Amino acid sequence: MEGVPTYALYGEAVSDRQQDWLHWETIQARSRLHGYRIAPHRHEQFFQVLSLTGGQGQVTLDGAEFALVPSTIVVVPAMTVHGYVFSEDVEGVIVTLMATDMAEGVDSLSAGVVAASGDAARALDGLISEADRPGAHHDIAMRAHLSLLRVALHRAGSQSPDLGDGRARRHVQAFRQLVDQRFRETRRISDYAGALGISPTHLSRVCRQVLGASALDIIEQRIALEARRQLLFSTLSVKQIGAGLGYDDPAYFTRMLKRVLGVPPMAIRRQSAR
């Protein structure tokens, strides 16, 4: 995954800003600024849903390419490498949410999805409407709309075709879901491979084939994502965060975070304080 840029929103440097539930904009608004070509990139903290209602396009999700036509949605979980090419008459919206909000209530969506929009488009419309015109009990309403969206996306994902070459991608998708569930408990490749019923060597091979990264890279990226959240939104020390994520040696934990995130952990906390 080295060399893949990590953005807040496309073209914007990663920032520590917090969003009030979500950000949304038309596909035209951002893609027009970049000649209707959005280069492959990823988001560390954000979960995105694109709903195409006019024009056409093409999306790349973790190396697999899909044509986009009206009434299609694209689901992009955090850390999924994705890029787009759109026609100049493209219409639709892109909704950006906090990944933590989309991980509640149902099994985490950890792999990209391309599917018919259906109920998901209606759920997006309701969510955007409440976000734009908040009424009484706004927080309760937003949580309800997010729950409806999560269910709609899971249903859409269960009806979508496999991304690319079948079995390898199914193994990788299952692995990423396991990492979401167990990253605090284990970093051993053999533990994940055993749970999936494949060898550690095969797990690393399919991860490199599908994601361009080793199985350990995927685990460390997930740990680093959680560590970054705690650095930004808690008062725990680096030692305490590391201990909670299974690292007894604070120096080793700090070196891992610097390697994965590109900056020392305390630099992230100083940015947040500023």
Cβ count near 107 (within 10 Å): 11
Containing structural domain, residue 183? 166-273
Residue 158 pLDDT > 80: no
Q: Do residue 107 and residue 172 come from a single domain? A: no
Q: Does residue 70 form part of some domain?
A: yes
The predicted pLDDT at position 272 comes to 61
- Using the 3D structure, point to which of 107, 139, 159 is the last residue of a domain: 159
% of residues, the chain, pLDDT over 70:
85
User: For residues 214 and 220, what is the distance between their CA atoms, to the nearest angstrom?
Assistant: 10
More confident residue, 15 or 159: 159
The predicted pLDDT at position 1 comes to 38
- Using the 3D structure, point to which of 98, 127, 159 is the last residue of a domain: 159
Q: Do residue 139 and residue 155 come from a single domain? A: yes
Lowest mean pLDDT: which of 52-66, 106-120, 156-170?
156-170
Q: Does residue 108 form part of some domain?
A: yes
pLDDT tens figures, 261-272: 888 888 888 876
Q: Does residue 50 form part of some domain?
A: yes
Q: Does residue 1 form part of some domain?
A: no
Q: Do residue 251 and residue 147 come from a single domain? A: no
Looking up residue 192, the CATH number of its domain turns out to be 1.10.10.60
Q: Do residue 138 and residue 104 come from a single domain? A: yes
Q: Do residue 91 and residue 224 come from a single domain? A: no
pLDDT tens figures, 11-63: 555 444 444 678 999 999 989 999 999 998 888 788 999 999 999 999 988 77
Q: Do residue 69 and residue 41 come from a single domain? A: yes
pLDDT, average across residues 66-72: 88
User: For residues 95 and 58, what is the distance between their CA atoms, to the nearest angstrom?
Assistant: 18
Any idea which residue has 């970054």 for tokens? 228
- Using the 3D structure, point to which of 159, 183, 218 is the last residue of a domain: 159
> What tokens does 2 get?
């080295």
Q: Do residue 149 and residue 178 come from a single domain? A: no
Q: Does residue 242 form part of some domain?
A: yes
Q: Are 117 and 73 in contact (CB under 8 A)?
A: yes
pLDDT, average across residues 198-211: 85
Q: Do residue 153 and residue 112 come from a single domain? A: yes
Looking up residue 141, the CATH number of its domain turns out to be 2.60.120.280
| Bridge partners, 49 (sequence order) | 75, 95
The predicted pLDDT at position 215 comes to 92
SS3 for 209-253 is HHHCCCHHHHHHHHHHHHHHHHHHHCCCCHHHHHHHCCCCCHHHH
Q: Do residue 154 and residue 180 come from a single domain? A: no
Q: What residues have CB less than 8 Å from 70, skipping those under 6 apart?
A: 52, 53, 54, 55, 56, 91
The predicted pLDDT at position 101 comes to 81
pTM as predicted: 0.58
pLDDT, average across residues 114-118: 85
pLDDT, average across residues 127-155: 90
- Give all strands of the β-sheet with 113-116 in edge-to-edge order: 22-26, 91-98, 46-54, 72-76, 113-116
At position 268, the amino acid (one-letter code) is I
Q: Do residue 171 and residue 213 come from a single domain? A: yes
CA angle, residues 261, 266, 270, in degrees to nearest 5:
105
Which parts of 190-236 are beta strand (E)? none
User: For residues 141 and 131, what is the distance between their CA atoms, to the nearest angstrom?
Assistant: 9
Q: Does residue 139 form part of some domain?
A: yes
pLDDT tens figures, 188-197: 999 999 998 8
Q: Are 80 and 112 in contact (CB under 8 A)?
A: yes
Number of domains forming the structure of the chain: 2
Sign of CA dihedral 146, 150, 153, 159: negative
